Amino acid sequence: MPQFSRASLALTLLVSLSGCDLAKAHFGAAPGPANADPVVFEVPAGSSARGLAPALEAIGLVGSADNFVMYVRLTKEGGCIKAGRHEVSASMDAGDLITALCGVPLANDVPFTVVEGWRIREIDAALAEKGWTKPGEYSAAVADPGQYTAPFPLPATSIEGYLFPETYMVDAEKWDTKGFVQRQIDLLAERFYTPNRSALESSGRSFAEVVIMASMLEREEPTKAQRPLVAGILWKRIDSQWNLGVDATSRYTLDKWNDRRAFLKKLRDPSDRYNTRLRGGLPPTAIGNPGMTALDAALHPTKSEFWYYLHDSSGVIHPSRNVGEHEAYRKKYNVY
């Protein structure tokens, strides 16, 4: 056997035999000091070790998301991650961190789902139905944004739109309403704001504008794949100083979202600040709390030749290039 082939084979065998050791040495070092304080990290349902890497890096539990992913790839660890809240620290190397995340979640945790698009009032009602809060308690807790922290500016009056929808693991016996609100804000920062900070800065839009747009997309376009197209149309209308004409905004202040009689009355009310048929610009606040696909679509809209759109009775979108095409679709699908 040629000498260079023997050397290559030996090197290959060495790497194969010591892959775990190499992974720990080069990719799995603890990012913090030996006495780092413990923190609680929440693993959402359905998460993988690789998928958690950006979030772990964002809060300093791993030094590099890419290195953590490489560690998982080399060691084949991480397949046992359990949803829920886990106590971890920056003192842990990658192996110890994965072991902790594979352990039993903190005691008494139960799931609570905030549905994408829910308004503050729907979250309030769901918590009260669980018996964890009194009716109105959650709404009161979010009424003073100044008591919460975020890496982005929080609106002075309403944080509708900033309460990230997700299935949270909570300790019902030690329920803390304000603590839960802060967790929602933190998760918005972790999942969307921090990973997209550069894109947000170069978008020409404020974070508040992106959140408001995303909240409209969440309610206006049921097909997630079509949301970037709708976002492109709506941003183009905003930039051209056209009224948005997003009917979902007129439902925002209704007690019941699907109250058709009250909705039709709102559509004819020029004094309604959320009437985007009759008023220009974005609505004054988000109209619900958008999830990741709506946020991504608002930040990354699809450019197109279209200026209008409508949905038929099956929810299928029909975009159009001009008012003539739009009116033809109205007649064809009996949409008014």
DSSP 92-103: S-HHHHHHHHTS
Rounded CA separation 106/7 (Å): 50
Q: What is the pLDDT of residue 25?
A: 67
CB neighbours of residue 248 within 10 Å: 21
Reply yes or no on domain 12-101 having CATH 3.40.50.12780: no
Q: Residue 132's pLDDT is what?
A: 97
Mean pLDDT by 10 residues, the chain (336 residues): 48 49 74 89 87 91 91 86 90 92 84 97 98 98 97 96 96 94 97 96 98 98 96 98 96 96 95 96 98 99 97 94 96 90
- Closest-CA residue to 98 (of 48, 55, 54, 64): 48
The pLDDT assigned to 8 comes to 53
Enumerate residues 6+ apart whose C-beta is below 8 A from 26. Answer: 67
CA of residue 304 relative to chain centroid, distance = 25
What CA–CA distance (Å, rounded) separates 251 from 274?
A: 8
**What is the SS3 assignment for 321?**
coil
Q: How far is the C-alpha of 36 from the C-alpha of 89, rounded, in Å?
A: 6
Of 207, 206, 203, residue with least CA distance to 232: 203
Task: Report how far residue 70's alpha carbon sits from residue 23's, in angstroms, rounded to the nearest whole number.
Answer: 8
Give the orientation angle of helix 65-75 with respect to helix 49-58, to 10 degrees: 150
* pLDDT for res 6: 52
pLDDT score, position 21? 67
- Cα-trace Rg, the chain: 24
* Domain edges within the chain: 12-101, 109-193, 203-333
CA 323 to each of CA 45, 87, 243, 330: distance values in angstroms, whole numbers, following the listed order = 45, 57, 14, 10
Q: What is the pLDDT of residue 158?
A: 94
- H/E stretch holding 169: strand 167-171
